[in-house]
């Protein structure tokens, strides 16, 4: 459509420049602040903003989430609700520590302690604010209304104090315990990790490892061996038992060639033996079954240890029966090292077996491991295999490729390692968590019973302590003298119990907090334990800690919890969504949020991961300053990513939004401005009875109904997509057939047409305001003057 223009309505508008002008207007007039101040607190819509790390520039994933977190609050604001929107920063944890270690050239915890924990944490503190100004610039340019000037930070004392309260309250309710359990352990970061941290990022890789079948010499029987299979030869010095299934059938087989007798599960005979001792077509059979036994028959059978570097503190080196043993692979006999396997530890507790700790915190064989001392565990594999081979105990070896977990931050291969740690008893809470989850509305809804619901059903207890430095300290003090333990819930309580005066300005981080000692009931001093919190426990405490609850804002929080709405990417079903849900259920027996929007992942246009190195995606800032934030917002909000599907980002598709939607609507606006001129067009009732006007009003009412219904169910795709066909109808059908009316000599019909167009444009600006706020504001201002 080509129409005459006036100086105020250029044919080729600079949309990014218009957006900057609208931003300046909002800021000058304090429009966001007034949208809060001028709405009643009694009518509040609550929203939680998941805190990002400010350790780099925002990417498209961040902008997507910010667009959603702007659309929904704007919508409810327009419905008359007060919608507080306060930004937050995630400051603690391994992501920050790993970056600082690289920056300082530190490779281990020993390096950090030599450098100085205080100095290290000071660098961490500075590093988390490096990109704050850049984030503010990006978020402001996107058009998101959010209070970043009063952002909460997980490193603030007030935030940490509320995290202490959460921990203390869970401890008081019996939902926290300390235990030595087998969990994921990163030898590079030298800390335990939680199961959901690994599941969240799907942190598994395919790796090739040795798989060995080892002979264990039976005591008191000549040349008789139990055969056990393992893919972790480095754990063999920690062996204390062999597990058999009580109901499986086992055999003793005598090998003709060697005279040795081997014991293994009967169903695996062909796999275990015939590949090494093939049956001849005629002549002597190379082996014979000399005895059939059940797993129960093998129970208690003793064997000679492979290694004696460490003396067990209780009876060991015998066959025990456990139900988890299978005959699917291996030999039906399981090498058991309680320090390095969850099932192994279960066997140890069932049968009172010792635990031999043969690996240090850095993933090296201990100093008392003889010829293997000091070796990284994977380097010790071939050394141990060579030793067993020389001693005639290595029955078979091969290479297998399998999936192994890696650290979600440094990509180091993890090991399962028994270590003392603090846990949330998720198993005990599971019933309440599942009940509370039924009250949450998900978009898309398949997450309710699917990824989130199934994850809750199988969730293990949550390891929440980290043997690291930059994090909120666990508020636990212990007396070395009498063993008394004190969990502190606030700074006030800590000061009351402290030996000596504690400064009001005390930084609650290590090492300052480690100096504070408490008076014990026995008269001695209590020292704080060294662990810090898992950063997911901190972010999961966000509803309480961001408000400094319950030390402040208690009445307000109690009235407005849980949140009406949250949104993040689908990986957070096992991250932030999960930690929020666990803690809210444990504290209050209800979910932390009522409605949640889950998005998919943004990839490069070719379907590959976006990479700064490959430069396979457009720079977000450049795109917003060239094409505009409104176009980017509409492109993302109308895409399959809002339905938790993958989006291959297309710069051309984003540019097309500017032409096909904003450009057309701008031309419609220009047509009105041209033909209305300086004339005041009043919107009056009743509306025009012209058939074209009645039709476009009907389309407008349908649009409003469609958008409203979709927004009420948090279906942003169905809310935003109808805008484009409506604008096409307005321009291509109504305006094309009405332009002569506005040019014609019939004054009444001309006024009806202009009045109709003015009202439709004003209503359209209101409908599109949550999604494309800059253009909506410009359209409204131009029409209302």
Q: How many helices (H) and strands (E) does the chain have?
A: 31, 26
Torsion from C-alpha of 701, 703, 705, 706, nearest 10 degrees: 160
Q: Per the omega criterion (within 30 degrees of 0), is the bond before 511 cis? A: yes
Question: Which phi and psi angles does 64 have, rounded to 5°?
Answer: -60, -50
Contact 208, 437 (CB under 8 A): no
The pairing of strands 147-153 and 86-89 is parallel
Three-class secondary structure of residue 533 per DSSP? strand
Contact 400, 209 (CB under 8 A): yes
Query: What kind and span of H or E run contains 478?
Result: strand 476-479
Identify whether 254 is a catalytic site residue: no
Nearest-5° angle of CA 646, CA 406, CA 448? 45
Looking at 76, 145, 165, 536, which residue is catalytic?
536
| Length of the chain in terms of residues written | 785
Looking at 438, 612, 705, 743, which residue is catalytic?
612
d(CA 230, CA 388): 13
Residues 6+ positions from 585 with CB-CB distance below 8 Å: 429, 432, 433, 436, 591
d(CA 24, CA 65): 23
Identify whether 229 is a catalytic site residue: no
Looking at 49, 70, 90, 381, which residue is catalytic?
90
Q: Give the tokens for residue 315.
A: 């009876």
Q: How far is CA 131 from CA 100, 610, 631, in A?
A: 14, 20, 25
Identify whether 164 is a catalytic site residue: no
Q: Can you name the residues that pair with 336 across neighbouring β-strands? A: 241
Q: Per the omega criterion (within 30 degrees of 0), is the bond before 65 cis? A: no
Helix 773-784 × helix 629-637 angle, to 10°: 120
Q: Per the omega criterion (within 30 degrees of 0), is the bond before 610 cis? A: no
CA distance between the termini of the chain: 25
Helices (H), 79-206: 94-104, 109-115, 117-127, 132-142, 157-172, 195-200
d(CA 295, CA 251): 10
Identify whether 252 is a catalytic site residue: no
Instruction: Give me the residue label for tokens 């921990």.
Output: 167
Q: Per the omega criterion (within 30 degrees of 0), is the bond before 562 cis? A: yes
Instruction: Give me the residue label for tokens 């009001």.
Output: 504
Contact 264, 210 (CB under 8 A): no
d(CA 47, CA 86): 9
Looking at 365, 419, 570, 572, which residue is catalytic?
572
Identify whether 590 is a catalytic site residue: no
Looking at 51, 354, 473, 770, which residue is catalytic?
51
Q: Is the dihedral of CA 141, 142, 146, 152 positive or negative?
A: negative
Looking at 17, 29, 43, 609, which residue is catalytic?
609
Number of neighbouring beta carbons within 10 Å of residue 772: 30
Maximum CA pair distance of the chain?
117
Looking at 229, 576, 666, 734, which residue is catalytic?
576
d(CA 285, CA 266): 17
Identify whether 536 is a catalytic site residue: yes
Instruction: Give me the residue label for tokens 């990022």.
Output: 201
Residues 6+ positions from 233 with CB-CB distance below 8 Å: 210, 212, 380, 381, 384, 385, 388
DSSP 206-217: EEEEEEEEEEEE
d(CA 466, CA 193): 7
Candidates 601, 666, 604, 668; CA nearest to 630 is: 666
Identify whether 365 is a catalytic site residue: no
What beta strand segments (E) does 218-302 contain? Answer: 224-230, 241-244, 249-255, 261-265, 287-294
Buried b (16+ CB within 10 A) or exposed e, 9-31: beeebebbebbbebbeebeeeee
Contact 462, 193 (CB under 8 A): no
Catalytic residues: 51, 90, 536, 572, 576, 609, 612
């Amino acid at each position: 459509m080509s129409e005459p223009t006036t100086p105020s309505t250029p044919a080729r508008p600079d949309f990014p420049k218009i957006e900057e002008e609208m931003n300046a207007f909002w800021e000058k007039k304090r429009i966001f602040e007034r949208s809060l101040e001028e709405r009643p607190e009694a009518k509040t819509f609550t929203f939680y903003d998941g805190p990002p790390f400010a350790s780099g520039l925002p990417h498209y994933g961040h902008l997507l989430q910010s667009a959603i977190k702007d659309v929904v609050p704007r919508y409810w604001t327009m419905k008359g609700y007060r919608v507080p929107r306060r930004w937050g920063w995630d400051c603690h944890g391994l992501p920050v520590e790993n970056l600082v270690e690289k920056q300082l050239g530190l490779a281990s915890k020993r390096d950090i302690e030599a450098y100085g924990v205080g100095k290290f944490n000071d660098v961490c503190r500075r590093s988390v604010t490096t990109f704050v100004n850049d984030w503010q610039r990006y978020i402001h340019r996107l058009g998101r209304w959010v209070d970043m000037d009063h952002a909460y930070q997980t490193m603030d004392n007030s935030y940490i104090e509320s995290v202490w309260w959460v921990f203390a309250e869970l401890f008081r309710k019996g939902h926290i315990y300390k235990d030595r359990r087998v969990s994921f352990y990163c030898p590079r970061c030298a800390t335990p990790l939680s199961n959901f941290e690994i599941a969240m990022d799907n942190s598994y890789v395919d790796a090739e490892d040795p798989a060995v079948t080892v002979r264990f010499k039976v005591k008191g029987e000549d040349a008789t061996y139990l055969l056990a299979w393992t893919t972790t030869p480095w754990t063999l010095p920690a062996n204390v038992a062999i597990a058999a299934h009580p109901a499986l059938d086992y055999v003793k087989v005598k090998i003709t060639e060697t005279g040795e007798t081997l014991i293994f599960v009967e169903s695996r005979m062909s796999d275990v033996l015939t590949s090494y001792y093939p049956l001849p077509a005629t002549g002597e059979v190379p082996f014979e079954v000399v005895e059939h036994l059940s797993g129960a028959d093998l129970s208690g059978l003793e064997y000679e240890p492979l290694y004696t570097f460490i003396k067990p503190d209780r009876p060991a080196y015998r066959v025990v029966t456990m139900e988890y043993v299978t005959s699917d692979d291996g030999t039906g006999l399981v090498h058991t090292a309680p320090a390095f396997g969850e099932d192994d530890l279960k066997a140890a507790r069932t049968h009172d077996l010792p635990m031999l700790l043969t690996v240090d915190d850095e993933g090296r064989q201990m100093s008392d491991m003889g010829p293997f001392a000091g070796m990284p565990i994977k380097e010790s594999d071939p050394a141990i295999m060579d030793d067993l081979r020389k001693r005639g105990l290595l029955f078979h070896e091969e290479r297998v490729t399998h999936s192994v977990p890696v650290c979600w931050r440094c990509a180091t291969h993890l090991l399962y390692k028994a270590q003392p740690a603090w846990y949330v008893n998720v198993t005990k809470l599971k019933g309440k968590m599942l009940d509370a989850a039924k009250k949450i509305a998900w978009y898309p809804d398949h997450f309710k019973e699917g990824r989130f619901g199934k994850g809750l059903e199988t969730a293990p207890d949550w390891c929440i302590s980290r043997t690291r430095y930059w994090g909120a300290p666990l508020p636990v003090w212990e007396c070395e003298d009498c063993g008394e333990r004190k969990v502190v819930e606030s700074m006030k309580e800590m000061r009351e119990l402290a030996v000596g005066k504690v400064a009001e300005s005390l930084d609650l981080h290590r090492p300052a907090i480690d100096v504070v000692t408490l008076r014990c009931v026995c008269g001695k001093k209590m020292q704080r334990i060294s662990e810090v919190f898992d950063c997911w426990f901190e972010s999961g405490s966000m509803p309480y800690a961001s408000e400094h609850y319950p030390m402040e804002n208690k009445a307000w929080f109690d009235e407005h919890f849980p949140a009406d709405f949250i949104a993040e990417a689908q990986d957070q079903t096992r991250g932030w969504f999960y930690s929020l849900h666990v803690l809210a259920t444990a504290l209050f027996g209800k979910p932390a949020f009522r409605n949640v929007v889950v998005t998919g992942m943004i990839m490069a246009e070719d379907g590959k991961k976006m990479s700064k190195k490959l430069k396979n995606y457009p720079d977000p800032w450049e795109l917003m300053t060239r094409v505009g934030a409104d176009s980017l917002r509409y492109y993302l909000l109308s895409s399959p990513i809002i339905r938790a599907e993958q989006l291959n980002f297309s710069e051309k598709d984003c540019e097309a939004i500017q032409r096909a939607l904003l450009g057309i609507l701008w031309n419609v606006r220009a047509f009105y401005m041209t033909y209305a001129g300086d004339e005041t067009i009043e919107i009056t009732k009743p509306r025009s009875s012209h058939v074209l006007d009645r039709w476009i009003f009907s389309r407008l009412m349908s649009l409003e109904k469609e958008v409203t219904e979709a927004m009420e169910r948090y279906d942003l795709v169905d809310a935003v997509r109808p805008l484009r066909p409506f604008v096409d109808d307005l321009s291509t059908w109504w305006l094309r057939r009405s332009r002569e009316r506005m040019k014609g000599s019939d004054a009444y019909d001309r006024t009806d047409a202009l009045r109709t167009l003015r009202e439709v444009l004003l209503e359209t600006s209101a409908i599109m305001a949550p999604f494309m706020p800059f253009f909506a504001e410009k359209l409204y201002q131009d029409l209302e003057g």
